[in-house]
Structure 1
Amino acid sequence: MPKVGMEPIRRRQLIQATMQAIDEAGLADATVARIARHAGVSTGIISHYFGGKDGLMEATMRQILTDLRSAVSERRAALADDDVRSHLRAVIDGNFDRSQVSQSVSKTWLAFWASSMHRIPLERLQRVNDRRLISNLCALFRRCMPLNEARDAAAGLAALIDGLWLRGTLDPTGLDVERARRLAYEYVDYQLTRHMAASLNATDSPTSPEPSKERTHG
Protein backbone atom coordinates (compact mmCIF):
# COMPACT_ATOMS: atom_id res chain seq x y z
CA MET A 1 0.00 0.00 0.00
CA PRO A 2 1.21 3.56 -0.70
CA LYS A 3 2.48 5.49 2.30
CA VAL A 4 0.48 8.36 3.73
CA GLY A 5 1.89 11.84 3.98
CA MET A 6 2.11 12.88 0.33
CA GLU A 7 0.29 16.09 -0.57
CA PRO A 8 -2.94 15.40 -2.49
CA ILE A 9 -1.86 17.63 -5.38
CA ARG A 10 1.48 15.84 -5.77
CA ARG A 11 -0.24 12.46 -5.45
CA ARG A 12 -2.71 13.35 -8.18
CA GLN A 13 0.17 14.61 -10.31
CA LEU A 14 1.94 11.25 -10.06
CA ILE A 15 -1.26 9.36 -10.86
CA GLN A 16 -1.81 11.49 -13.95
CA ALA A 17 1.81 10.91 -14.94
CA THR A 18 1.31 7.14 -14.61
CA MET A 19 -1.66 7.22 -16.95
CA GLN A 20 0.25 9.39 -19.43
CA ALA A 21 3.18 6.97 -19.40
CA ILE A 22 0.88 3.98 -19.97
CA ASP A 23 -0.88 5.87 -22.77
CA GLU A 24 2.45 6.72 -24.33
CA ALA A 25 4.34 3.44 -24.02
CA GLY A 26 2.11 0.74 -22.55
CA LEU A 27 2.37 -0.76 -19.10
CA ALA A 28 5.55 -2.75 -19.70
CA ASP A 29 7.49 0.33 -20.80
CA ALA A 30 5.87 2.74 -18.36
CA THR A 31 8.99 2.69 -16.19
CA VAL A 32 9.43 4.57 -12.93
CA ALA A 33 11.90 6.82 -14.72
CA ARG A 34 9.38 7.63 -17.46
CA ILE A 35 6.63 8.31 -14.92
CA ALA A 36 8.94 10.49 -12.84
CA ARG A 37 9.86 12.45 -15.94
CA HIS A 38 6.21 13.09 -16.77
CA ALA A 39 5.55 14.21 -13.20
CA GLY A 40 8.72 16.28 -12.91
CA VAL A 41 9.88 14.47 -9.76
CA SER A 42 12.73 12.17 -8.82
CA THR A 43 12.37 8.41 -8.98
CA GLY A 44 13.18 8.34 -5.27
CA ILE A 45 9.88 10.05 -4.44
CA ILE A 46 7.94 7.32 -6.24
CA SER A 47 9.91 4.60 -4.49
CA HIS A 48 9.47 6.28 -1.10
CA TYR A 49 5.72 6.82 -1.25
CA PHE A 50 4.59 3.94 -3.47
CA GLY A 51 7.34 1.33 -3.21
CA GLY A 52 7.80 1.35 -6.97
CA LYS A 53 5.75 0.91 -10.11
CA ASP A 54 3.34 -1.73 -8.77
CA GLY A 55 2.36 0.43 -5.83
CA LEU A 56 1.84 3.41 -8.09
CA MET A 57 -0.31 1.32 -10.46
CA GLU A 58 -2.47 0.24 -7.52
CA ALA A 59 -2.85 3.84 -6.34
CA THR A 60 -3.74 4.92 -9.87
CA MET A 61 -6.48 2.32 -10.18
CA ARG A 62 -7.83 3.17 -6.75
CA GLN A 63 -8.19 6.76 -7.91
CA ILE A 64 -9.90 5.74 -11.15
CA LEU A 65 -12.30 3.53 -9.19
CA THR A 66 -12.98 6.39 -6.77
CA ASP A 67 -13.78 8.63 -9.74
CA LEU A 68 -16.12 5.92 -11.06
CA ARG A 69 -18.00 5.63 -7.76
CA SER A 70 -18.35 9.41 -7.59
CA ALA A 71 -19.65 9.60 -11.16
CA VAL A 72 -22.36 7.05 -10.34
CA SER A 73 -23.30 8.31 -6.88
CA GLU A 74 -23.52 11.96 -7.96
CA ARG A 75 -25.91 11.07 -10.77
CA ARG A 76 -28.10 8.95 -8.51
CA ALA A 77 -28.14 11.58 -5.78
CA ALA A 78 -29.34 14.18 -8.30
CA LEU A 79 -32.44 12.17 -9.21
CA ALA A 80 -35.70 13.66 -8.00
CA ASP A 81 -37.49 10.32 -7.62
CA ASP A 82 -36.76 6.69 -6.82
CA ASP A 83 -37.68 5.34 -10.25
CA VAL A 84 -35.78 2.11 -10.98
CA ARG A 85 -35.25 2.90 -14.64
CA SER A 86 -33.75 6.31 -13.83
CA HIS A 87 -31.34 4.86 -11.28
CA LEU A 88 -30.22 2.10 -13.66
CA ARG A 89 -29.58 4.73 -16.31
CA ALA A 90 -27.57 6.75 -13.79
CA VAL A 91 -25.34 3.71 -13.18
CA ILE A 92 -24.87 3.32 -16.91
CA ASP A 93 -24.07 7.01 -17.36
CA GLY A 94 -21.54 6.90 -14.52
CA ASN A 95 -19.72 3.99 -16.13
CA PHE A 96 -19.44 5.96 -19.37
CA ASP A 97 -18.51 9.20 -17.64
CA ARG A 98 -15.70 11.31 -19.11
CA SER A 99 -13.49 10.26 -16.21
CA GLN A 100 -13.70 6.65 -17.48
CA VAL A 101 -13.46 6.99 -21.26
CA SER A 102 -10.51 9.29 -21.96
CA GLN A 103 -7.69 7.67 -23.92
CA SER A 104 -5.23 7.62 -21.00
CA VAL A 105 -7.79 6.22 -18.56
CA SER A 106 -9.00 3.63 -21.07
CA LYS A 107 -5.48 2.32 -21.65
CA THR A 108 -4.87 2.25 -17.90
CA TRP A 109 -8.07 0.22 -17.43
CA LEU A 110 -6.90 -2.28 -20.05
CA ALA A 111 -3.50 -2.56 -18.37
CA PHE A 112 -5.23 -3.01 -15.01
CA TRP A 113 -7.46 -5.82 -16.26
CA ALA A 114 -4.51 -7.66 -17.75
CA SER A 115 -2.32 -7.17 -14.67
CA SER A 116 -5.08 -8.18 -12.25
CA MET A 117 -4.73 -11.78 -13.45
CA HIS A 118 -1.15 -11.88 -12.14
CA ARG A 119 -0.94 -9.42 -9.23
CA ILE A 120 -2.95 -10.13 -6.09
CA PRO A 121 -3.51 -6.48 -4.97
CA LEU A 122 -4.89 -5.58 -8.40
CA GLU A 123 -6.95 -8.78 -8.53
CA ARG A 124 -8.58 -7.76 -5.23
CA LEU A 125 -9.43 -4.33 -6.61
CA GLN A 126 -10.97 -5.88 -9.72
CA ARG A 127 -13.00 -8.36 -7.66
CA VAL A 128 -14.32 -5.63 -5.35
CA ASN A 129 -15.23 -3.38 -8.26
CA ASP A 130 -17.00 -6.19 -10.12
CA ARG A 131 -18.96 -7.25 -7.05
CA ARG A 132 -19.97 -3.66 -6.32
CA LEU A 133 -21.36 -3.17 -9.81
CA ILE A 134 -23.28 -6.46 -9.79
CA SER A 135 -24.60 -5.81 -6.28
CA ASN A 136 -25.84 -2.30 -7.10
CA LEU A 137 -27.53 -3.43 -10.30
CA CYS A 138 -29.09 -6.45 -8.62
CA ALA A 139 -30.48 -4.30 -5.79
CA LEU A 140 -32.13 -2.01 -8.33
CA PHE A 141 -33.60 -4.79 -10.47
CA ARG A 142 -34.74 -6.53 -7.27
CA ARG A 143 -37.17 -3.68 -6.62
CA CYS A 144 -39.37 -4.89 -9.44
CA MET A 145 -38.57 -8.56 -10.07
CA PRO A 146 -37.76 -11.78 -8.17
CA LEU A 147 -34.24 -12.33 -6.89
CA ASN A 148 -33.16 -14.90 -9.49
CA GLU A 149 -34.36 -12.72 -12.35
CA ALA A 150 -32.72 -9.66 -10.80
CA ARG A 151 -29.40 -11.49 -10.57
CA ASP A 152 -29.58 -12.52 -14.21
CA ALA A 153 -30.57 -9.03 -15.35
CA ALA A 154 -27.74 -7.50 -13.30
CA ALA A 155 -25.16 -9.93 -14.67
CA GLY A 156 -26.33 -9.24 -18.21
CA LEU A 157 -26.19 -5.46 -17.83
CA ALA A 158 -22.74 -5.58 -16.18
CA ALA A 159 -21.44 -7.73 -19.04
CA LEU A 160 -22.98 -5.36 -21.58
CA ILE A 161 -21.42 -2.28 -19.95
CA ASP A 162 -17.99 -3.91 -19.83
CA GLY A 163 -18.33 -5.31 -23.34
CA LEU A 164 -19.42 -2.03 -24.91
CA TRP A 165 -16.62 -0.20 -23.11
CA LEU A 166 -14.02 -2.79 -24.16
CA ARG A 167 -15.04 -2.94 -27.81
CA GLY A 168 -15.21 0.84 -28.01
CA THR A 169 -11.82 1.26 -26.39
CA LEU A 170 -10.21 -1.19 -28.82
CA ASP A 171 -11.90 0.45 -31.82
CA PRO A 172 -9.44 2.70 -33.70
CA THR A 173 -12.16 5.34 -34.04
CA GLY A 174 -12.72 5.37 -30.29
CA LEU A 175 -15.70 4.70 -28.04
CA ASP A 176 -19.04 6.09 -29.21
CA VAL A 177 -20.38 6.96 -25.76
CA GLU A 178 -23.87 7.94 -26.89
CA ARG A 179 -24.33 4.70 -28.81
CA ALA A 180 -23.01 2.64 -25.89
CA ARG A 181 -25.41 4.36 -23.49
CA ARG A 182 -28.34 3.88 -25.89
CA LEU A 183 -27.67 0.15 -26.23
CA ALA A 184 -27.40 -0.25 -22.45
CA TYR A 185 -30.62 1.75 -21.98
CA GLU A 186 -32.40 -0.54 -24.45
CA TYR A 187 -31.32 -3.59 -22.45
CA VAL A 188 -32.76 -2.04 -19.26
CA ASP A 189 -36.01 -1.15 -21.06
CA TYR A 190 -36.29 -4.69 -22.39
CA GLN A 191 -35.77 -6.27 -18.97
CA LEU A 192 -38.24 -3.98 -17.21
CA THR A 193 -40.87 -4.23 -19.95
CA ARG A 194 -40.54 -8.01 -20.14
CA HIS A 195 -41.03 -8.38 -16.41
CA MET A 196 -43.96 -5.95 -16.37
CA ALA A 197 -45.67 -7.91 -19.16
CA ALA A 198 -45.07 -11.19 -17.34
CA SER A 199 -46.52 -9.74 -14.14
CA LEU A 200 -49.64 -8.46 -15.93
CA ASN A 201 -50.18 -11.81 -17.62
CA ALA A 202 -49.92 -13.58 -14.29
CA THR A 203 -52.41 -11.16 -12.75
CA ASP A 204 -54.91 -11.27 -15.61
CA SER A 205 -54.88 -15.02 -16.17
CA PRO A 206 -58.26 -16.50 -15.13
CA THR A 207 -58.28 -18.88 -12.25
CA SER A 208 -59.21 -22.41 -13.08
CA PRO A 209 -62.71 -23.36 -11.94
CA GLU A 210 -62.92 -25.83 -9.16
CA PRO A 211 -63.77 -29.31 -10.38
CA SER A 212 -67.41 -30.16 -9.98
CA LYS A 213 -68.29 -32.64 -7.32
CA GLU A 214 -70.68 -35.26 -8.54
CA ARG A 215 -73.26 -36.32 -6.02
CA THR A 216 -73.13 -39.96 -5.22
CA HIS A 217 -76.18 -41.99 -4.39
CA GLY A 218 -76.08 -44.66 -1.85
Structure 2
Amino acid sequence: MARSAEPIRRDAIVKATIQEVARAGTLEVTVAQIARRAGVSSALAHHYFGSKEAIFVAAMRHVLIVYGAEVRGALATAETPRERVEAIVRASFGATSFRRESVAAWLNFYVLAQAMPEARRLLALYHRRLRSNLVHALRG
Protein backbone atom coordinates (compact mmCIF):
# COMPACT_ATOMS: atom_id res chain seq x y z
CA MET A 1 0.00 0.00 0.00
CA ALA A 2 1.31 3.42 -0.92
CA ARG A 3 2.68 5.52 1.92
CA SER A 4 0.27 8.33 0.95
CA ALA A 5 -2.68 6.07 1.78
CA GLU A 6 -1.49 5.58 5.37
CA PRO A 7 -3.17 8.67 6.87
CA ILE A 8 -6.42 7.79 5.11
CA ARG A 9 -6.32 4.21 6.38
CA ARG A 10 -5.36 5.28 9.91
CA ASP A 11 -8.27 7.73 9.95
CA ALA A 12 -10.63 5.02 8.69
CA ILE A 13 -9.47 2.69 11.47
CA VAL A 14 -9.95 5.38 14.12
CA LYS A 15 -13.46 6.22 12.89
CA ALA A 16 -14.32 2.52 12.62
CA THR A 17 -13.20 2.08 16.23
CA ILE A 18 -15.61 4.76 17.39
CA GLN A 19 -18.43 3.18 15.37
CA GLU A 20 -17.69 -0.33 16.64
CA VAL A 21 -17.53 0.81 20.26
CA ALA A 22 -20.90 2.54 19.76
CA ARG A 23 -22.37 -0.56 18.11
CA ALA A 24 -21.15 -2.87 20.85
CA GLY A 25 -21.67 -0.42 23.71
CA THR A 26 -18.39 -1.61 25.18
CA LEU A 27 -14.65 -1.68 24.61
CA GLU A 28 -14.94 -5.44 24.10
CA VAL A 29 -14.55 -5.19 20.34
CA THR A 30 -11.85 -6.95 18.38
CA VAL A 31 -9.29 -5.53 16.00
CA ALA A 32 -10.85 -7.80 13.37
CA GLN A 33 -14.24 -6.10 13.85
CA ILE A 34 -12.66 -2.66 13.68
CA ALA A 35 -10.58 -3.56 10.62
CA ARG A 36 -13.56 -5.08 8.82
CA ARG A 37 -15.58 -1.90 9.36
CA ALA A 38 -12.61 0.20 8.18
CA GLY A 39 -12.16 -1.95 5.08
CA VAL A 40 -8.63 -3.02 5.97
CA SER A 41 -7.02 -6.20 7.27
CA SER A 42 -6.38 -6.83 10.95
CA ALA A 43 -2.69 -7.09 10.12
CA LEU A 44 -2.69 -3.59 8.64
CA ALA A 45 -4.48 -2.19 11.70
CA HIS A 46 -1.85 -3.81 13.93
CA HIS A 47 0.91 -2.53 11.64
CA TYR A 48 -0.31 1.07 11.92
CA PHE A 49 -1.08 1.07 15.65
CA GLY A 50 0.74 -1.86 17.24
CA SER A 51 -2.08 -2.89 19.58
CA LYS A 52 -5.80 -2.63 20.20
CA GLU A 53 -5.09 -0.32 23.12
CA ALA A 54 -3.16 2.05 20.85
CA ILE A 55 -6.12 2.06 18.44
CA PHE A 56 -8.41 2.99 21.34
CA VAL A 57 -6.08 5.80 22.41
CA ALA A 58 -5.97 7.11 18.83
CA ALA A 59 -9.78 7.06 18.76
CA MET A 60 -9.88 8.91 22.07
CA ARG A 61 -7.45 11.48 20.70
CA HIS A 62 -9.69 11.90 17.63
CA VAL A 63 -12.77 12.51 19.81
CA LEU A 64 -10.85 15.13 21.79
CA ILE A 65 -9.60 16.83 18.61
CA VAL A 66 -13.15 17.05 17.23
CA TYR A 67 -14.41 18.42 20.54
CA GLY A 68 -11.56 20.95 20.69
CA ALA A 69 -12.38 22.18 17.19
CA GLU A 70 -16.02 22.62 18.19
CA VAL A 71 -15.01 24.64 21.25
CA ARG A 72 -12.62 26.84 19.26
CA GLY A 73 -15.28 27.40 16.62
CA ALA A 74 -17.85 28.37 19.24
CA LEU A 75 -15.39 30.69 20.99
CA ALA A 76 -14.34 32.44 17.77
CA THR A 77 -17.23 34.90 17.87
CA ALA A 78 -17.70 35.13 21.65
CA GLU A 79 -16.68 38.49 23.05
CA THR A 80 -18.03 38.82 26.57
CA PRO A 81 -17.40 36.45 29.49
CA ARG A 82 -21.02 35.30 29.33
CA GLU A 83 -20.77 34.63 25.57
CA ARG A 84 -17.56 32.65 26.12
CA VAL A 85 -19.14 30.46 28.81
CA GLU A 86 -22.22 29.96 26.63
CA ALA A 87 -19.98 29.01 23.70
CA ILE A 88 -18.19 26.36 25.79
CA VAL A 89 -21.51 25.00 27.04
CA ARG A 90 -22.92 24.92 23.48
CA ALA A 91 -19.86 23.05 22.23
CA SER A 92 -19.96 20.64 25.17
CA PHE A 93 -23.67 19.90 25.01
CA GLY A 94 -24.51 20.45 21.35
CA ALA A 95 -26.33 17.95 19.16
CA THR A 96 -23.12 16.24 18.04
CA SER A 97 -22.29 15.45 21.66
CA PHE A 98 -25.42 13.32 21.95
CA ARG A 99 -25.01 11.17 18.86
CA ARG A 100 -24.78 7.48 19.72
CA GLU A 101 -21.14 7.33 18.62
CA SER A 102 -20.17 10.35 20.71
CA VAL A 103 -21.89 9.17 23.88
CA ALA A 104 -20.47 5.65 23.57
CA ALA A 105 -16.99 6.99 22.82
CA TRP A 106 -16.93 9.34 25.81
CA LEU A 107 -18.32 6.78 28.26
CA ASN A 108 -16.03 4.00 27.12
CA PHE A 109 -12.99 6.25 27.01
CA TYR A 110 -13.62 7.23 30.63
CA VAL A 111 -13.55 3.49 31.36
CA LEU A 112 -10.37 3.11 29.28
CA ALA A 113 -8.70 5.88 31.29
CA GLN A 114 -9.13 3.82 34.45
CA ALA A 115 -6.84 1.11 33.10
CA MET A 116 -4.48 2.81 30.64
CA PRO A 117 -1.99 5.50 31.66
CA GLU A 118 -1.95 7.05 28.16
CA ALA A 119 -5.75 7.30 28.11
CA ARG A 120 -5.70 8.69 31.65
CA ARG A 121 -3.18 11.32 30.52
CA LEU A 122 -5.41 12.36 27.60
CA LEU A 123 -8.44 12.59 29.85
CA ALA A 124 -6.51 14.70 32.37
CA LEU A 125 -5.41 16.99 29.52
CA TYR A 126 -9.05 17.36 28.44
CA HIS A 127 -10.08 18.22 32.02
CA ARG A 128 -7.29 20.81 32.35
CA ARG A 129 -8.22 22.45 29.03
CA LEU A 130 -11.91 22.55 29.92
CA ARG A 131 -11.13 24.11 33.29
CA SER A 132 -8.72 26.59 31.70
CA ASN A 133 -11.28 27.58 29.06
CA LEU A 134 -13.96 28.12 31.71
CA VAL A 135 -11.69 30.08 34.05
CA HIS A 136 -10.51 32.27 31.18
CA ALA A 137 -14.10 32.79 30.01
CA LEU A 138 -15.22 33.82 33.48
CA ARG A 139 -12.32 36.18 34.09
CA GLY A 140 -13.10 38.11 30.93
TM-score (normalizing by structure 1): 0.59
Q: Provide the C-alpha distance between the structure 1 equivalents of 2:113 and 2:5, rounded to a whole number of angstroms.
A: 26
Does the alignment pair 1:135 with 2:96? no
Equivalent residues in 2 for 1:2-13, closer than 5 Å: 7-13=6-12
Q: Percent identity?
A: 33
- Greater Rg, structure 1 or structure 2? 1
Unaligned ranges ≥5, structure 1: 144-218
Q: Aligned pair in 2 of structure 1 residues 120, 6: CA closer, same or farther (>3 Å)?
A: farther
Equivalent residues in 2 for 1:163-174, closer than 5 Å: none
**Does the CA-based 8 Å contact 2:31-2:45 persist in structure 1?**
yes
| Match in the other structure for 2:33 | 34
Secondary structure in 2 matching 1:117? helix
Q: Report which of the two has the higher share of helix.
A: 2
| Match in the other structure for 2:80 | 83
Equivalent residues in 2 for 1:57-136, closer than 5 Å: 57-79=56-78, 82-136=79-133
Higher relative contact order (CA 8 A, sep 6+): 2
**Does the CA-based 8 Å contact 2:63-2:105 persist in structure 1?**
no
Aligned length: 138
How far 1:10 moved relative to its partner? 2.2
Superimposed CA distance per residue, residues 94-135 of structure 1 (whole angstroms, 9 cap, x where no aligned partner): 112344321012101111001101110000000000011011
TM-score (normalizing by structure 2): 0.89
How far 1:75 moved relative to its partner? 1.4
Q: Provide the C-alpha distance between the structure 1 equivalents of 2:69 and 2:38, rounded to a whole number of angstroms.
A: 25
Q: Aligned pair in 2 of structure 1 residues 14, 24: CA closer, same or farther (>3 Å)?
A: same
| Match in the other structure for 2:55 | 56
Unaligned ranges ≥5, structure 2: none
Secondary structure in 2 matching 1:7? helix
How far 1:5 moved relative to its partner? 6.9
Amino acid at match of 1:115: L
Please report the RMSD computed on the Cα atoms of aligned residues, expressed in angstroms: 1.8
Amino acid at match of 1:95: S
How far 1:6 moved relative to its partner? 5.7
Q: Provide the C-alpha distance between the structure 1 equivalents of 2:77 and 2:10, rounded to a whole number of angstroms.
A: 29
Q: Provide the C-alpha distance between the structure 2 equivalents of 1:58 and 1:15, rounded to a whole number of angstroms.
A: 9
Superimposed CA distance per residue, residues 72-111 of structure 1 (whole angstroms, 9 cap, x where no aligned partner): 11111133xx211111100111112344321012101111
Amino acid at match of 1:131: R
Q: Provide the C-alpha distance between the structure 2 equivalents of 1:28 and 1:73, rounded to a whole number of angstroms.
A: 29
**Does the CA-based 8 Å contact 1:19-1:104 persist in structure 2?**
yes
How far 1:19 moved relative to its partner? 1.3
